[in-house]
Amino acid sequence: MPFLGQDWRSPGWSWIKTEDGWKRCESCNQELERENQYNINHNIILNSEDEEIFNNEECEYTSKKRKKDHFKNDTNTQCFYREKWIYVHKESTRERHGYCTLGEAFNRLDFSSAIQDIRRFNYVVKLLQLIAKSQLTSLSGVAQKNYFNILDKIVQKVLSDHQNPRLIKDLLQDLSSTLCILIRGVGKSVLVGNINIWICRLETILAWQQQLQNLQMTKQVNNGLTLSDLPLHMLNNILYRFSDGWDIITLGQVTPTLYMLSEDRQLWKKLCQYHFAEKQFCRHLILSEKGHIEWKLMYFALQKYYPTKEQYGDTLHFCRHCSILFWKDYHLALLFKDSGHPCTATDPDSCFMPVSPQHFIDLFKF
């Protein structure tokens, strides 16, 4: 059916169903024409070099309109599904028509509850970061709403419990950089949605960054056993459990004893050997004045050139037999032998494979 609007990018006309059939809503049409007329006049002002680009009234109007569009976008429909699994189909068949997109998977899987689970929190944040870097333009309007609503919940959670602020700062930095590039290149890139909504979202991200920057960690008063009371070998064992160098540095700032343990060369050597191969060491050797290898400096140098191993408490799983992507509930699996989805395989556990955040993105590339 051909599109009957004046412009293929416009939302079209508004219609009302009456007893005589469908009739065009004249009041809405006149309002749209007045708005378009204002936009034309506004563009003329922007293109003229002799007059000022913005005056106070225009700035106020633009700000109000942007907030109004953003409010409408957030309050119309917020689709949060609570499904534990979805079928990933990439082509039409006799039984199924269409295919599953990244936006649909993001909408239907229960990410809103996943961020409340400490095992899945880092996994969801990394997934949001990958989408922000490369897949933001592929999300539909509803998927965009869910993306930013989940992001809002994550930020509020971090502000309330003061956990994992560094992860969220990195995510917001990548997201703001991507949005700045997309907003500046409007017309050159496909940006789904009103430009005013995206500008308002960018302002919200900048406000979140400021809140996280001003976040003050409250000192907890505890008269019981603290971390400093543990023996040295136990503190050392805790440090060896970390897979992120920044976590080791952060813990080393707590007490002088932990700082001494966090500077151990053997600790950083084990960390480098866990994340990188020996061939990579040879290309980026850093030696001290005495000829010893600076493993701590090497870790951060290698991190710039090679990806580190990802480690998560829990991830999404993919069933190769059913082509189903699902959250695996370990409590149900232990109590009721529930696989997490309606699997028809005789040995379901052999068909499951954990899905990394990058693998999740790759599943929906056609």
> What's the pLDDT at 140?
83
Can you tell me the distance from the alpha carbon of 242 to that of 91, in angstroms, rounded to the nearest whole number? 42
Token pair recorded at residue 157: 């959670």
pLDDT (0 to 100) of residue 76: 43
The least confident of 60-64, 136-140, 202-206, 281-285 is 60-64
- Mean pLDDT for 206-232 is 83
Residue 207, pLDDT > 90, answer yes
* Mean local confidence (pLDDT), 161-180: 91
Mean pLDDT is lowest, of 102-111, 125-134, 204-213, 333-342, for 333-342
- Reduce the secondary structure of the chain to three states and give it as a string: CCCCCCCCCCCCCCEEEECCEEEECHHHHHHHHHHHHHHHHHHHHHHCCCCCCCCHHHHHHHHHHHHHHHHHHHHCCCCCCCECEEECCCCCCCCCCCCCCHHHHHHHECHHHHCCCCCCHHHHHHHHHHHHHHHHHHCCHHHHHHHHHHHHHHHHHHHHHCCCHHHHHHHHHHHHHHHHHHHHCECCECCCCCHHHHHHHHHHHHHHHHHHHCCCCCCCCCCCCCHHHCCHHHHHHHHHCCCCHHHHHHHHCCCHHHHHHHCCHHHHHHHHHHHCCHHHHHHCCCECCCCCECHHHHHHHHHHHCCCCCCCCCCEEEECCCCEEEECCHHHHHHHCCCCCCCCCCCHHHHEEEECHHHHHHCCCC
* pLDDT for res 269: 92
Q: What is the mean pLDDT of residues 176-182?
A: 89
Please give the average per-residue pLDDT across 194-207, as a whole number.
90
pLDDT tens digits, 23-54: 776 544 454 454 444 443 444 333 444 444 44
**pLDDT above 70 for 106:** yes
pLDDT tens readout for residues 337-350: 555 666 777 777 77
Instruction: Grade residue 262 by pLDDT with cuts at 50, 70 and 90.
Output: very high
Give the predicted TM-score (pTM) of the model: 0.70
Tell me which residue has tokens 């809002």: 152
Mean per-residue pLDDT, 293-307: 90
Question: How confident is the prediction for the chain on average, in pLDDT?
Answer: 76
User: In the prediction, which pLDDT does 3 show?
Assistant: 46
pLDDT of residue 346: 75
pLDDT of residue 194: 80
Instruction: Tell me which of 201-215, 267-281, 352-366 is least confident.
Output: 352-366
Q: What is the pLDDT of residue 39?
A: 44
% of the chain residues with pLDDT over 70:
71
pLDDT in tens, 314-338: 888 888 888 888 887 754 554 445 5
Instruction: Provide mean pLDDT across the span 114-137.
Output: 90
Question: What is the residue whose two structure tokens read 């500008």?
Answer: 199
**What is the reported pLDDT for 46?**
38
pLDDT for residue 215 is more than 80: yes
Q: Which residue would you say has higher pLDDT here, 166 or 96?
A: 166
| pLDDT for position 337 | 55
Cβ atoms of 216 and 163 within 8 Å: the answer is no
